[in-house]
Structure 1
Amino acid sequence: MIEVPRPEHPRPTAVRPLWRCLNGRWEFEIDQGDSGLERGLLHRPLSGEILVPFAPESAASGVGVTDFLEAVWYARDVEIPAEWTGHRVLLHFGAVDHDATVWADGVEVTRHRGGFSSFTADLGERAGQTVRIVVRARDSRHGVQARGKQSTRYANADCHYTRTTGIWQTVWLEAVPPLHVRSLRITPNLAAGSVTVAAPLSANRPGHRLVVTLADDAGPVASAESRADLDLTPTVTVIVPPERLRPWSPRDPHLYDVTVRLVGAAGEVIDEVRSYTGIRSVAIDGKRLLLNGEPVFQRLVLDQGWWPDTLMTAPSDEALVRDIELAQAAGFNGARLHQKVFEERFLYHADRLGYLVWGEFGDWGAAGHGPAGDNQQPTASYVTQWLEVLARDHNHPAIVGWCPLNETYQVLHDRITVLDDVTRAMFLAAKLADPTRPVIDASGYSHRVAETDVYDAHLYEQDPARFAELVEGLAEDAPFVNTHEDRSISLPYAGQPYFISEFGGIWWDPDAARDPGAGADRERSWGYGDRVRDEEEWHERFAGLTGVLLADPDMFGYCYTQLTDVMQERNGIYRFDRTPKLDVERVRAAQLRPAASEARRPEG
């Protein structure tokens, strides 16, 4: 049994030398009636144990309870290293689903809502002490809550999977000096050949400076500094010499090491944070989406990020790398990270390996009730969580676009709905937080923000000939637009870059093909359209569908559903255990024919 799973540093974009992983065995107790506070769970040992960071529904956790869990409790006595004297101790949580309250020695130190975004508690100066950390996570099956693909029914079915409750990403401690850099916001500018670093500080002192240094495998590149005594967020721009400027791309995912130092008036280093960046640009030219000024057809795959024994938590760092390499082996150059905010280690590997990704929020769970009819009713918490995601993941060059919502549906009413407000709020939040990347207001179904940077549609038509008929209107600015039982009302297409961001989902399950009964049971085997009869039919259909999109000079990319089977959803290129079920070289060959949009040159 692994005692400390996932021991690697969980945040490669902000590394300090003094940190400690808290994954491993914690006390644990299920609190089905959410009465644990009244029953004294805060002040007594818990009845069981769990292996963090695996959720209690997972086999890897050692608990394996897949029923609805209204609340769960965690506890652990943590020894703070004596050598952390003079430092404040930060307690970080990668993700806790869904409403978390954290106590240290019986005193509440933070609370957080949202199962996909990270949060931190400041424990103060506690060097040499033993601190009892207690966490309560509430995860009700009722009401509006961002759940992503977690099933709201007892059993899994279709594209809804086993729930994830409580801690499901790494927990760790970090020691920081009393005066320190709170976070890093690194923004490359390819046109200027520069990198700008904004570093919010805990406080300012006269004579302090912020010094930023860039380096790569060939050695130091450049450095710059600014005063750090006038602004809570001092900013430094480092100019990269032209001979050392090497743009990041899928073909050459070049990264620069970034070292940020807060330096005192006497020249002493007060705080140091190590990070990295890639210098690249994303731009729009008519219907084309450009990377570093050139069209790069985005052959994306839908990645749900689930594993058999660990659910939404990757079993190992190597498993994250393997998923990217499996996708690249099949001819994909990127992914939609679908209905889940992936952990930063995945984004780090995408940066390293040159893998394009669209950052997405797990918004499913906002089904409407009451007088608004079927309109979804996301809450203000969706906007809060989305802002946390944008702040955490801004620094990753692999992210080439943002997608806050997926498959929203909008019924016409005589008034603005909550969905209208939240859709626009999440779009504007992304544009204000990150003006360097394009934003889709909502992927598929209802486009409700007129100025959305990208327009897309989801199309699961399985016949390539009919598929071609449905998408051929893009040249005349009349592309395929989703309508979903008269509930999907979109604003008109306005000439934006356009792509089919979900298609395929070809149902191929070799095991079910040998068991006719499995095909009639959607809890055992499910996919889009009619199940193919054999692997040959799968390849013919895949080549036909992808060929239609590759041949369209106005299409900037596509996203195929999906990378792996997930539980009962059997439409992956690979099985759920990541073994191949198809001729991967043939899948790759079908995709690597030249895309018409890459050959097209700007007009005028």
Structure 2
Amino acid sequence: MSISPAHEVPRPEYPRPQMVRQDWLNLNGPWQFEIDAGDSGLDRGLRERELSQTITVPFAPESELSGLGHTDFMEAVWYRRTVTIPAAWAGRRTLLHFGAVDHDATVWVNGVEVARHRGGFSPFTADLSEEVRPGEDATIVVRARDPRQGSQARGKQSTRYGNYECLYTRTTGIWQTVWLEPVPDVHLSRPRITPDVANSSFTVVTPLSGNRPGTSVRVTVSDREGVVATATARADVDLAPSLRLELDRVHLWEPGEGYLYDVRVQLLDAGGAVTDTVDSYAGLRSIAIDGKRVLINGRPVFQRLVLDQGYYPDGLMTAPTDAALLRDIELSVAAGFNGARLHQKVFEERFLYHADRLGYLVWGEFGDWGASTGHEQQPTASFITQWLEVLERDVSHPSIIGWCPLNETSEAIHDRVAQLDDVTRGMYLATKLADPTRPVVDASGYSHRVPETDIYDSHNYEQEPTAFAGQLSGLSKNEPFVNTTSGDRPISVPYRGQPYFVSEYGGIWWNPELAGTEQDATRVGSWGYGQRVRTEEEFHVRFAGLTEALLENADMFGYCYTQLTDVFQEENGIYRFDRSSKLDVERIRQVQSQPAATERSS
């Protein structure tokens, strides 16, 4: 069915590109809105009455694009919108989808609670079929609580009034697309597509909402020339039929060459009629570990990654347009990077779609920062729940080549911080259970607490290239640089020869407009790592020295440079916050174009 014209709806593109249905209704655009400063709105009747302001969804109220730009703390916010369920959806169930709501959401439809969800980075769905029918009006009310205090996965959102150091303007409430879609009573859930390069095939697991006698599932895989595989399985005896599809024509998904197969999943009734269809896609690629090397499709690929935090001046964590997501990847590739560590934020799925198409390598990460209760980080069991929702959404994206549940935990091992240990191990085990096909780093930088972690890494912001190379030289003797905190207490389990990389380095502090000014001397309103460079030439010399130290280390499988763009006061990006030019990008690309030691020896 048709949706509203693109010029009337912000972010009009289909938000879930790996599970597409043709019928849907985008609910982005104007919603009623009200700030609930004391989180007393339920008692004051906000659920029942009209709200006092208007906001543009899917942009958070702190952002300029929302029409509000309110950056103070908001304990709770409320949304309200009435929409008519299309009459053409008669005979089907209506699902209401939220891409992400920060942080603790409750949803009512026509006065009836239909969903509760905790976690600002993962999607959730409400079934409206018992409260409203096609052709009728649905009044949707959302309360989003975002408390200032307490352990919460906030990512890089500031817990102070203003921004400081590497923490930025908060995001409260709805910040990804909201939409409706109709489904039959028994329907397909998100397919899980696992590539098998060794056998030139895909395994497609097709979860169902239920079973009916005589039903079946059919999966068709096509390349750019036509159908390459078809398989059918019974859907009446298994809640998740599994089908193996051997490909007639083989095209590998490669770094820089994101070849994708189209995948169509259909649910058929006992008479063979199609009752539900989902369109998806897949990439045929493998990931393996050989000693200290990470292999993609059986060969070592040195991972030249950039830290990407996914913030925008006008949209904050929400990209202003789909083209802006694509543009960030293009800017990264232009600078010589072949991938990114998606840092302290679960990116919109549309970003992964573009990464999949372009063969852009990414590490999926959870935005776990914000779990500090003062002295130490204390993530809760809710982090595991939220992370599993992320894995369910993203596990079939070929661009994701590794997982990172936690970042920079730092408590001492012998303190036996039981809650941190339990959550760290729980998130690692949950990741391996959900996806045994990719490597997992238990916690990026600082405190490795799981002995069997697939990857070992460090964060190292030493700014002098010779000292930097010296710190990394022990890796050849299995004595790598390991992050520590003050004192002599170990914060990591011992290194045991895993693939190793410096997953944060550089962060070179450079703002050409401040060079030589009084503000340059005082550093007010600007932040970065180490001693700020004085000229662009000094930047390039330092960047080359640090990066070449990593490229020349034969025991390193990659690196991650901090960062792609400036973000507010953090001015260490390759590009400015508005994505305009700041440096000679061609010089940066040339440095990274040098063959790595692991590539020369393979």
Aligned to 2:3: none
Which residue of the other structure, out of 508, 514, 534, is the alignment partner of 1:506? 508
Maintained 8 Å contact 1:212/1:260: yes
Within 2, Cα distance between the matches of 1:213 and 1:308? Answer: 42
Per-residue deviation, 1:484: 2.0
Q: Give the residue type in structure 1 aligned to 2:189.
A: R
Aligned to 1:139: 146
Maintained 8 Å contact 1:31/1:72: yes
Within 2, Cα distance between the matches of 1:463 and 1:593? Answer: 20
Aligned to 1:461: 462
Moved more, 178-187 or 325-334: 178-187
Aligned to 1:107: 112
Which residue of the other structure, out of 470, 494, 497, is the alignment partner of 1:495? 497
Per-residue deviation, 1:218: 1.1
Within 2, Cα distance between the matches of 1:252 and 1:30? Answer: 46
Within 2, Cα distance between the matches of 1:225 and 1:293? Answer: 31
Moved more, 298-307 or 509-518: 509-518
Q: Are the structure 2 counterparts of residues 412 and 496 from structure 1 closer, same or farther at C-alpha, using a change threshold of 3 Å?
A: closer
2:361 maps to 1:356: yes
Within 2, Cα distance between the matches of 1:414 and 1:551? Answer: 37
Within 2, Cα distance between the matches of 1:88 and 1:412? Answer: 51
Q: Give the residue type in structure 1 aligned to 2:117.
A: H
2:345 maps to 1:340: yes
2:136 maps to 1:129: yes
Aligned to 2:387: 386
Aligned to 1:439: 440
Per-residue deviation, 1:353: 0.8
Within 2, Cα distance between the matches of 1:123 and 1:192? Answer: 43
Aligned to 1:472: 473
Which residue of the other structure, out of 26, 29, 43, is the alignment partner of 1:24? 29
2:430 maps to 1:425: no
Maintained 8 Å contact 1:327/1:563: yes
Q: Where does structure 1 differ by over 6 angstroms across 4 or more consecutive aligned residues? A: none
Maintained 8 Å contact 1:280/1:292: yes
Within 1, Cα distance between the matches of 2:423 and 2:522? Answer: 38
Maintained 8 Å contact 2:256/2:360: no
Within 2, Cα distance between the matches of 1:25 and 1:485? Answer: 50
2:279 maps to 1:277: no
Instruction: Report Cα offsets for 1:209-256 as digits up to 9, x if no partner.
Output: 111000021111111111111111111111112xx1111012321100
Maintained 8 Å contact 1:375/1:419: no
Structure 1 stretches lacking a partner, 5+ long: none
Per-residue deviation, 1:570: 0.2
Per-residue deviation, 1:515: 3.1
Q: Give the residue type in structure 2 aligned to 1:493.
A: Y
2:9 maps to 1:4: yes
Within 2, Cα distance between the matches of 1:308 and 1:129? Answer: 39
Within 1, Cα distance between the matches of 2:571 and 2:250? Answer: 44
Structure 2 stretches lacking a partner, 5+ long: 1-5
SS of alignment partner, residue 127 of structure 1: coil
Aligned-residue CA RMSD (Å): 1.2
Q: Give the residue type in structure 1 aligned to 2:208.
A: L
TM-score, L = length of structure 1 = 0.97
SS of alignment partner, residue 445 of structure 2: strand
Aligned to 1:525: 526
Q: Give the residue type in structure 1 aligned to 2:64.
A: A
SS of alignment partner, residue 116 of structure 2: strand
Maintained 8 Å contact 1:525/1:570: yes
Per-residue deviation, 1:205: 1.3
The within-5 A match list for 1:167-182 is 167-182=174-189
Maintained 8 Å contact 2:413/2:493: no
SS of alignment partner, residue 38 of structure 1: helix
2:155 maps to 1:148: yes
Within 1, Cα distance between the matches of 2:331 and 2:217? Answer: 41
Within 2, Cα distance between the matches of 1:35 and 1:2? Answer: 36
SS of alignment partner, residue 224 of structure 1: strand
SS of alignment partner, residue 110 of structure 1: strand
SS of alignment partner, residue 412 of structure 2: coil
Within 2, Cα distance between the matches of 1:387 and 1:465? Answer: 42
Aligned to 2:517: 515
Within 2, Cα distance between the matches of 1:500 and 1:133? Answer: 46
Within 1, Cα distance between the matches of 2:394 and 2:268? Answer: 26
Within 1, Cα distance between the matches of 2:127 and 2:157? Answer: 31
Q: Give the residue type in structure 2 aligned to 1:86.
A: G
Within 1, Cα distance between the matches of 2:516 and 2:180? Answer: 51
Aligned to 2:563: 562
Aligned to 2:535: 534
Aligned to 1:158: 165
Aligned to 2:125: 120
Aligned to 2:93: 88
Aligned to 1:544: 545
Maintained 8 Å contact 1:445/1:488: no
Aligned to 2:582: 581
Instruction: Report Cα offsets for 1:43-92 as digits up to 9, x if no partner.
Output: 00000100000000011101111000000000000111110011111100
Aligned to 2:201: 194
Within 1, Cα distance between the matches of 2:51 and 2:484? Answer: 51
Aligned to 1:35: 40
Moved more, 124-133 or 148-157: 124-133
Per-residue deviation, 1:488: 5.9
Per-residue deviation, 1:375: 3.0
Within 2, Cα distance between the matches of 1:591 and 1:413? Answer: 40
Within 2, Cα distance between the matches of 1:43 and 1:514? Answer: 58
The within-5 A match list for 1:37-52 is 37-52=42-57
Aligned to 2:247: 240
SS of alignment partner, residue 41 of structure 2: coil
Identity of aligned residues (%): 67
Maintained 8 Å contact 1:408/1:488: no
Maintained 8 Å contact 1:23/1:52: yes
TM-score, L = length of structure 2 = 0.97
Within 2, Cα distance between the matches of 1:469 and 1:415? Answer: 32
